[in-house]
Amino acid sequence: MSLFNKSVSMVIDKVPPQAIAVFAKKYIAGPTLNDAIRTTKKLNAEGAMTTIDVLGEFVSTKEETWHFRDLAIKVLEAIDQHKLNANLSLKLTQMGLKLSKALCLENIEMIFEKAKELGIFVRIDMEDSTCVDDTLEIYRNYRDRYNIGTVLQAYMRRTIDDIHRLSDGRLNFRLCKGIYDEPREIAYKEKDIVRDNYIWALETLFEKKAYVGIATHDEYLVFHAERLIRKYGLNRDDYEFQMLLGVDEQLRKIIINNGHRLRVYVPFGKDWLPYSIRRLKENPNIIKSALEGYMK
């Protein structure tokens, strides 16, 4: 990590929200569902699919979970109404996982039923390590009834074992590096090891005929993903690449022009700050690029 990137990662939590907003806005569609719809239409026209995410992770009342549940259902209805090439990403903490598991299940079942009615896929997002067991258990318990998937993180030491543990049923995962600040005891810290584990996990998933959302902006991993796609003779509909809104749009175009399907993660909402801080920690070059632009 460069000195600039390390410095940004160390101080970003102390930067005023107004300043973060200047640099983070390219990551976010906007505060409203209409912003996400507009962004998705634009991306669809460019040949990309999307997954729409309602920002907000920290709820303290059941009423807040109901708000996010109803908003997720509105996203599904908007996808159907506007005929968007999109699906829904869903956070379990938003649905009340940390308040009451029963409340969380009640909320997600309503969302899953609406998604089933409309024929829309739902991706259960992965959150920090305290949520991994519950997230994978919920995925296992509902994957036969609904068209859902979840997420695996290559920096977690447990990921290969999780793949094998879940291999007794349908496998549909987004595979990403991981972004939460986890202790070394449970997460790899070395960049090269995370990359190697990503490739190992991806090949293991392909061997098990899983559907994988190959989520990365690392061209080294894109290269190895394309190699494995050829090795296993996969058809275009057997996998997809995934990228974040606002990140390496040139690579996004290259992947699409190479004949692959690609989905862009489109977050929206007023609760943008925690998401944006994590993304800026992961990719401080967003700030560097913006500053260089101002100085030209």
For residue 134, indicate whether it is catalytic.
no
For 253, residues 6+ apart whose C-beta sits below 8 A from its C-beta are 46
Say how far apart CA 217 and CA 289 lie, in whole Å. 16
218 Cβ neighbours under 8 A, 6+ residues apart = 177, 195
126 vs 148: CA distance, rounded Å: 13
Catalytic residue chosen out of the listed positions 53, 123, 125, 252: 125
DSSP single-letter state for residue 68? H
E strands, the chain, in order? 49-54, 86-90, 122-124, 148-153, 172-176, 211-215, 239-244, 262-268
Write down the residue that tokens 């606002």 correspond to. 246
144 is catalytic: no
Placement of tokens 């938003």 in the chain: 94
Catalytic residue among 174, 195, 261, 279: 174
Taking the C-alpha atoms of residue 234 and residue 26, their distance in angstroms, rounded to an integer, is: 33
Relative to beta strand 86-90, strand 49-54 is parallel
**Residues in the chain, how many?**
296
As a dihedral over the C-alpha atoms of residue 22, residue 27, residue 31, residue 32, rounded to 10 degrees, the angle is 150
- Among residues 172, 216, 174, which one has the least CA distance to residue 195? 216
d(CA 1, CA 9) in angstroms, rounded, equals 10
Spatial distance between the Cα atoms of 172 and 120, rounded to a whole number of angstroms:
14
User: In 3-state terms, what secondary structure has residue 62?
Assistant: helix
Catalytic residue IDs:
125, 174
